[in-house]
Chain A
C-alpha cells in the first residue's frame, strides 16, 4: 500500500531566480549570491574564478533577495522574503563560516489580494526602510532604527492598483519610491512618492511621467549624483529625473527583464532580453547631468533572468530557461561580432517539461531523458546516476588475482607497465611506442608465482612481493638488485608497500617491516601479534609522500583494525569493529586534505574513520554497506583529485565533497581488481579486472548524477522511448520571431537512443502543436508504433477545436506516417490501454481501437468515450482503470467495461485542485501534483458501505513540495538490487520547472513511522536558515486552505542527518532511542534510493 511516501531530491533546483553581488562574507570579499527558488548559493570571487562557499536550502520559495548595508557596518546583510510572506535578514559569521539570523518575521495580511505581477521587495539605498509590495493596493514598510534593527511594519495604501515595478530612488532626503503602473485604460505611467515614516503615509513625490511605452515593465534606479530612473519598455528606453530631464532612445522590439549595473556611478548597465541578447546601455553625461542614452549590442547569452556584474568585465548571467553562465566581456569583438566570451556554464535542467525513463541495460536503473529549457535554450538532458567507465580496450583474461601499474622510472609522470597476477604466475603488459599494450618481461621479477604487491620505489627501483620473497629490481636494467626471503614455513599472506617501505604479514600473526636503504632491503622490525593478520596498508598520508609513519593492520579472530607506528610497530590504536566478519582491506588515504582510515569487511560493509595523521587517533566512525562481497580498496586520481575505488560485486567510488565522504556506484556489474593506469595515450585511465576480462578505460567525472546535454536550439515538449526500435522520439517547436509577428514551427523528431544522433523529422502543419507522444502496440498487430497527439492552436480560438492523432512506424531509422485521425480538440494525453489507444481530447476521454481494413491497412476507430471533465490533461492507466488529472476538477477514476464497451466514472476527488501531473502509485493509491506546488495522494474506497463513499476518492496524503511538477513517472535512477530491502520499494520520479529531479518512494508503514519520528526529532536539532519553520513550509497550502502535511516525509531533511557532526548525531539517536550506527545505516540506505 502506497499511503506512506518519502519525498527526496535527487537533483537540486538549478533554475536561477535571483542573484546579487556584494561584500557578504567579509569587507574585502566579493560574493555572488544566487537564489534557485528554494536554495541559496554563496560564491566567493577569487582570481581563479567563482569558489562555492555554501549551498543551503530555504524553507520557502524565494520571492526577494537583496543585499544591503546598514550604517556603520563593514559587511552587507542579506534580506530574503518568501512567497508565503516570511522574511529573514541573514549575516555571515566569519568565525564559524555559517549564516546567522539577524531578524525574521511574517509580513502576511489577513486582507488584500495577492499581487499577480510578482512580489516586490526593495531596500532604501540609505537603509532607512524595507518596502514590500505583496498585495494590490498596499505598500508595506519595515523601518530600520538608527542601529539597523527592524522596527514594526505598517501598511500604506497605494492608489495604483496594477503595479508593474517599484524601486527606491537614490540621493533623496526622504525615502522616495518610483512606481511604474498601468491605469484602467491600460496606459502606463510612473509616479514618485515620499514615504513619511512618522505619519505612516505617502507624500506626493518630486515628479511623475505619464504615457510611457505600452510595454514598459522595468525600472532601473540610477545612483547619485546622476540620480533619476531608467524605464525599460519594449520599444523605448527612457531616462528621467527630478530635474525634468527626459531622454529617450528607440530599441528593437524586445522584452527586457534582467539588468545588471556595471559601474558604481550607474553610468552603464547590462540588459538581457527574452531572446538571450545582451546589450550595454550607456548614460552619457556631463558634470552630473545625463545628456543622452546609447545602447550597444554585446552578444548572445542564455536567456537571462538575472545579471550580476562581478569584476573586470566578468558577468554572471543567471537563467531560468537555459544554463547559467559566467561570461567575460571582451574589448574586441570576435569574428561573429560578439564581445561575449563564455567562461563557465552552470547546468540548469529547468524547466523540465517532460521526461522519460530509459533502462538501457535492463537492470532496473533508468536514465532520465528530460525535455529541458525553453525558447532558444531548449535541450535534451540525459541524467544518469553513478559513474560510467568509458572502455577503451579489453582483452579476455581468466583468473586475475591482482593488478598494479608501474612507471618506467620513479619520476616518470606516466605509467608504463601493467602487472597482472594469477594464481601461479604473473604477466607483464607494457605500452609500446605505438601506444598499444603488448606482453613483455621484467627479468628481475618472479613470473612463476602470484604477485601479492607491486610498487615503484625510490632510487629508481621496483618492488615485487610474493609469498616467498620481496624483490628489488632496477628500473634501468630490470635486473634483480636485492631480495628478502621469507623464513621457512612462514609464507607471506598479505603485503603493502610504498616508495621506501614494505610491510609483510606471514602466518602466525607475524609482521615484518622492511625499508629500502641504499638500494637494499633492510629488515627493520619484526613483531608477532596475537591473531592472524587479514590486511595491511602503509600508504603515506603525512607530509612526506615517500615515507609513512603509520601502518594500518586488520585482524582475524578479534575482528579489529589497528594503527601501528613506524618504524617500531608500536600499537597506537585498536578499534574493535564488532560482529563476526573479517576485515579484508584497509586503506590510509587523504581526500581533500582530510585523512581517513577505510576498512572494508568480507560482507561488503565499509568502516570509515577520521584519522589524525600526527597522532594516529581515530574518530568519527561510520559504517556503510557497499555490497555483499569482499571489497578491495585502491586510490586513484582523476583530474588532479584523489579518490578511492572499491572493487566488489557493487563497485563504488568513494570521494570527498565539501570535506564529506560520498559514495557513488560505478556502472559495472562486478569488479574484482582495479588499479590506476595513467598513460600518455589515455591519461587518468584505469585498468579493471572483471570475471574473465581485463579492460582499460577512462572514468566519468566523480559526482552522483551525470548530466549530458544535447542542445536543440528549440524547445522540446514531449518525449518518449521506444525500446524495440532503439529510438527516442520527441515533439519540439522552434520559435520564429520576425519584426511583424510571432510564429512557431512544430516537429516530431527521432533520435538514436544511445548516440542521440538525429535520425528523422516530421514537420507538423501550420498552427499544429505536438501535445503528447507514446510508444504503443495494438491488439492483433506485432508492430510497435509512436502515437503523437496534436492540437491546432488558432489565434482566434479560446480552445483548440481540432487536433490529430498520428501513428508512426520506425522503418530504416525513419518516421513513417501510417495513420492519421482527426480529433475535435487538443489531444492532451495518450495512453496504450488494453491493446487500444486511449486519448484525452479537451473535456473528453476517447478510446480508439486499431482496425484492419479490407485493403490490409489499419485505421483508428472510436469505440467509446467519457466526458464531464473541464479539460482532461493527464491520464494514467493500470489494468482497466484510468486516472484523469483535470484542469481544475482534481483527480477522477474511470473504469473501462469490456462487455459494454463503455467507460464510466467510478470515483472522484471533489476538491478543486488545478492539476499539473498524476500517476498511479498502485491499484488503489493515486498521486497528483497541483498548481500551488503541492502534492497529494488519494485512495479508492472500493470497500465502502455506500455509493457516495465509493464514489469519493479519499485524500490520504498532503504535502507542500514547493516545486511545480510537470511529470510523474514510475522508474528509478538507481539499480534495484533484488537482495536488498530497499530494492523492493516502488519509486516514482518527478521533474519540475526549476530543474528538480526528485523521487517519491512508497514505504512500509513501520518504516514510515520510524522515519516520521526521526523527522520530528531532526526538526528540533536542525534550524532552518533564517529560523523559518519546516512545519509551516511543508504544510499543504492553496488559495482555500492550509493544512498540516500528512503521510509524506521530507527526505531532504531526513538525509541531512548524515551531514550532522558525530555529537549531534548521537543526540538525535538518543532522542530516538536507537544506536547511532543503526540510525546512520537506515538513513544511509535511503540515500540509495536516488
Chain B
C-alpha cells in the first residue's frame, strides 16, 4: 500500500479594506455588475410590458412561449436574456457532488484523430 498523498486545497485570502473610497468603488462596481447580470438573465422591459408582467412578478416559461408565438415580444423571438430566463428552472441547483475519489492525480485528455498526439 502506497503513501496517501495529502493535497492542500488552499484557504481563503482575507484582505483588509484599506480606505473608505476603496469601499465606495467596490460598491459601485458591484451595483453595475449586478445590473448587467440582471440585464443578461431577465426579460427586458419590452417583454415584460408585452406580457403584462409587473415589475417583480415572475414570468413562466409557458407565458414566454405564448408571447413568442403571438409576436408579443416585439422582435418576434427570444432574446438571449429571455433564453437565460426560460432556462433558469432547468439548470442544476443541487450539487456539485463527488463522482470519484482517487489516491493519485488523474489526467484528463484524449488522443488526436490520427492517434499520434495526446492532447491535454
Q: Do A and B bind each other?
A: yes
Looking at the assembled complex, report how far the CB atom of B44 sits from the nearest CB atom of chain A, in whole angstroms: 4
List which A983-1009 residues lie within 8 A (CB) of chain B: 993-994
Q: Which of B35, B78, B80, B89 contacts A161 (CB 8 A)?
A: B35
Q: A673 to B118, alpha carbons, bound, how many Å?
A: 81
Instruction: List residues of chain A with CB within 8 A of the CB of B74.
Output: 118
Q: A117-B44, A164-B45, A374-B70 are in contact. Are A931 and B78 (CB under 8 A)?
A: yes
Most buried by A among B38, B40, B60: B60
In chain B, what residue has the closest Cβ to A793? B62
Please, how many angstroms separate the alpha-carbon atoms of A117 and B45 in the complex?
Answer: 7
- The verdict on A900 contacting chain B, using a C-beta distance below 8 Å, is no
Is there an interface contact between A994 and B77, defined as CB atoms closer than 8 Å?
no
Q: When A351-B70, A800-B62 are in contact, do A184 and B35 touch as well, CB less than 8 Å? A: yes
Chain A residue contacts of B79, Cβ below 8 A: 114, 116
Instruction: Name the residue on B nearest A37 (C-beta).
Output: B76
B71 & A320 in contact (Cβ 8 Å cutoff): yes
Q: What distance in Å separates the Cβ of A19 from its nearest Cβ neighbour in chain B?
A: 16
The proximity string for B residues 36-58 relative to A, scoring 1 for CB distances below 8 Å and 0 otherwise, is 10111001111101101001011
Q: Give Cα A41 to B50, complex, Å.
A: 27
B65 within 8 A of A: yes
A residues near B55, Cβ cutoff 8 Å: 186, 214
- Complex CA distance for A13 and B84, rounded to whole angstroms: 29
Flag if A799 contacts B62 (CB, 8 Å).
Answer: yes
- Contact of B62 (CB < 8 Å), options: A15, A117, A791, A933: A791
Query: Residues 253-276 of chain A: 1 if any B CB is under 8 Å from the residue's CB, otherwise 0?
Result: 001000000000000000000100
Q: Nearest residue in A to B75 (C-beta to C-beta)?
A: A118
For A, the interface residue count at a CB cutoff of 8 angstroms equals 54
> Of the candidates A183, A796, A798, A966, which one forms a contact with B69 in the assembled complex, judged by CB atoms under 8 Å apart?
A966
Chain B residues near A993: list those with CB within 8 A: 69-71, 76
A933 to B77, CA, bound (A): 8
Q: Chain B's nearest CB lies how many Å from the CB of A886?
A: 11
A979 at the interface (CB under 8 A from B): no
Interface contact A914-B75, CB-CB below 8 Å: no
Which residues A762-811 have CB closer than 8 A to chain B? 769, 791, 793, 795-800
Q: Are A184 and B34 in contact (CB under 8 A)?
A: yes
Q: Taking CB as reference atom, which chain A residue is nearest B79?
A: A116
Q: Give, as a whole number of angstroms, the nearest-CB distance from A681 to chain B.
A: 45
Of the candidates A15, A374, A797, A873, which one forms a contact with B65 in the assembled complex, judged by CB atoms under 8 Å apart? A873
Q: Which of B39, B45, B71, B77 contacts A217 (CB 8 A)?
A: B45
Once bound together, how far apart are the Cα atoms of A1067 and B45, in whole Å?
Answer: 52
Given A184-B31, A374-B71, A888-B83, also A161-B39 (CB < 8 A): yes
Task: Known A116-B81, A964-B76; judge A255-B89 contact (CB<8 A).
Answer: no
* Residue among A274, A374, A1039 making CB contact with B80, cutoff 8 Å: A1039
Q: Are B32 and A117 in contact (CB under 8 A)?
A: no
Interface size class of chain B, counting residues whose CB lies under 8 Å from the partner chain: 35 or more
Asked whether B26 is an interface residue with its Cβ less than 8 Å from the other chain, the reply is no
Q: Which of A330-367 contact B (CB under 8 A)?
A: 350-351, 353
Q: Which parts of B79-98 form the interface with A (CB within 8 Å)?
A: 79-83, 86-90
Q: How far is the CA of A183 from the CA of B81 in the complex (A)?
A: 17
Contact digits for A863-890, partner B, Cβ 8 Å, 1 yes 0 no: 0000000110100000000000001100
Complex contacts, A826 vs chain B, CB 8 Å:
62
Interface on chain B toward A: helix, strand, loop, or mixed SS?
helix
- What distance in Å separates the Cβ of B76 from its nearest Cβ neighbour in chain A? 5
Query: Does A932 lie at the interface of the complex (its beta carbon under 8 Å from any beta carbon of B)?
Result: yes
Determine the chain A residues whose CB is within 8 A of the CB of B52 once the complex forms: 742
Nearest-neighbor residue (CB-CB) of B36 within chain A: A161
Chain A residues near B39 (CB, 8 Å)? 113, 116, 136, 161-162
With A114-B80, A136-B39, A887-B86 as given contacts, are A800 and B70 in contact (CB-CB < 8 Å)?
no
Q: Is the CB of A116 within 8 A of B49?
A: no
Q: A113–B32 contact, CB under 8 A?
A: no
A85 smallest CB distance to B (angstroms)? 14
CB-CB under 8 A from A183, the residues of chain B are 35
Chain A residues, Cβ within 8 Å of B36: 161
Residues A798 and B61 in contact, CB atoms below 8 Å apart: yes
User: Per-residue 0/1 for A102-139: is the Cβ within 8 Å of any B Cβ (1 yes, 0 no)?
Assistant: 00000000000110111000000000000000001000
A320 and B74 CA atoms in complex are apart in Å by 9
Set of chain A residues within 8 Å of B89, measured between Cβ atoms:
798-799
**Residue of B with least CB distance to A791:** B62
Report the bound CA distance from A320 to B73 in whole Å: 11
**Given the complex, which residues of B lie within 8 Å of A215, measured CB to CB?**
49
Contact A118 B72 (CB under 8 A): no
A15, A888, A994: which has the most chain B beta carbons within 10 Å? A888
Question: Smallest CB–CB gap between A539 and chain B, Å?
Answer: 49
A113 — which chain B residues lie within 8 A by C-beta?
39-40
Bound-state Cα–Cα, A214 to B60, Å:
22
Nearest CB of chain A from residue B60's CB, rounded to whole Å: 6
Chain B residues whose C-beta falls within 8 Å of the C-beta of A83 in the assembled complex: 75
Chain A nearest CB: distance from B89 CB in Å? 5
State the CA gap A116–B88 with chains docked (Å): 18
Nearest chain A CB to B54 CB, angstrom units: 9
Neighbouring B residues of A791 by C-beta, 8 Å: 62
B35, closest chain A residue (CB)? A184
Could you say which residues of chain B place their CB within 8 Å of the CB of A164? 45
Q: A170 an interface residue at 8 Å Cβ cutoff?
A: no
Q: A769-B62, A914-B83 are in contact. Are A374 and B46 (CB under 8 A)?
A: no
| C-alpha gap A183/B36 in the complex (Å) | 11
* Interface check A715, CB cutoff 8 A: yes
Whole-angstrom CA separation of A791 from B62 in the bound complex:
9
- Give bound CA distance, A871 to B87, whole Å: 10
8 A Cβ contacts from A952-974 to B: 964, 966
State the Cβ distance, B57 to closest chain A Cβ, in Å: 7
Give A79-119 as 1s and 0s: 1 = Cβ < 8 Å from B's Cβ atoms.
00001000000000000000000000000000001101110
Instruction: Give the Cβ gap from A564 to chain B, nearest Cβ, in Å.
Output: 59
Q: Is the CB of B76 within 8 A of A118?
A: no
Give Cα distance in the complex from A795 to B60, angstroms.
8
- A795–B57 CB distance below 8 A: yes
Which residues does chain B contribute within 8 Å of A798, judged by CB atoms? Answer: 58, 60-61, 88-89
Q: Please measure, in the bound complex, the distance between the C-alpha atom of A873 and the C-alpha atom of B80, giving whole angstroms.
A: 19
CA gap between A397 and B71 in the complex, in Å: 54
Given contacts A162-B39, A353-B70, A994-B71, contact A797 B78 (CB under 8 A): no
In the complex, what residues of B have CB within 8 A of residue A321's CB? 70-71
A182 CB–B CB distance under 8 Å: yes
Query: From residue B30, how far is it (CB to closest CB) to chain A in Å?
Result: 10
Separation of A797 and B63 alpha carbons in the complex (Å): 11
CB nearest to B33 among chain A residues? A184
Partner of B46, one of A15, A114, A118, A136: A118
Can you name the residue of chain B whose Cβ is closest to the Cβ of A735? B52
Alpha-carbon separation in the docked complex, A695 to B31 (Å)? 78
Instruction: Please indicate the chain A residues that have their CB under 8 angstroms from the CB of B70 in the complex.
Output: 321, 351, 353, 374, 715, 993
Known: A769-B62, A914-B78, A994-B71. A162 touches B45 (CB 8 A): yes
Contacts of A186 in B (CB 8 A): 55
Cα–Cα distance between A799 and B64 once the two chains are bound (Å): 11
B60 contacts A793, CB within 8 Å? yes
Given A353-B69, A800-B62, check contact A117 B46 (CB 8 Å).
yes
B62 — which chain A residues lie within 8 A by C-beta?
A: 769, 791, 793, 799-800, 826
CA distance A769 to B67 in the complex (A): 13
Q: Which residues of B contact A796 (CB under 8 A)?
A: 58
Q: Is the CB of A793 within 8 A of B75?
A: no
How many angstroms from the CA of A826 to the CA of B46 in the assembled complex?
Answer: 26
CB pair A116 B44 closer than 8 Å: yes
Known: A800-B62, A914-B78. 10 other contacts (CB 8 A): A114-B80, A116-B46, A116-B47, A161-B39, A184-B38, A186-B55, A353-B69, A374-B71, A799-B62, A964-B71
Could you show 17 A-B contacts with beta carbons less than 8 Å apart? A116-B39, A117-B46, A161-B32, A164-B45, A214-B55, A798-B58, A799-B62, A871-B61, A873-B65, A887-B61, A887-B86, A914-B83, A931-B78, A964-B71, A966-B69, A993-B71, A994-B71
* CB-based closest 3 A-B pairs: A184-B35, A116-B44, A351-B71
